[in-house]
Amino acid sequence: MLRKPLYQLPPIQDGDKWVHWLAFMVLTLVMLWDTKKAGQKLWQMWTLGIVFPVAYGGLIEVLQELFFYPRTGEWSDWLADGIGVLVGAIVWWISQQWNARRMDT
């Protein structure tokens, strides 16, 4: 028998979009840091770190719509994925600039 929780957290408006945003930001950061650590060229880093996550997010939405009823593909989820990728790339770039300045001193 399942027990009811003692309390229930209030729902977060558009919580699903925040999860998409955060997951794809982290994915982008990991991909960029890992490709740099592996010594990849800049175009390879951007392809693996930015193009791949955006394409992956779009593919997930299409597959959900076509094959995983009752899940649906949503443009807004893909947009949240893309924003997460953009934020992740900006955070990564800022961290690289900060590290470069720190190494110069």
Q: Which pLDDT tens digit goes with each residue over 33-51?
A: 999 889 888 888 889 899 9
Return d(Cα 31, Cα 44) in angstroms, integer: 11
List C-alpha distances in Å: 92 to 3, 30, 56, 63, 102: 44, 9, 20, 29, 15
**pTM assigned to the model:** 0.81
Domain borders along the chain are: 31-104
Q: Which pLDDT tens digit goes with each residue over 77-86?
A: 999 999 999 9
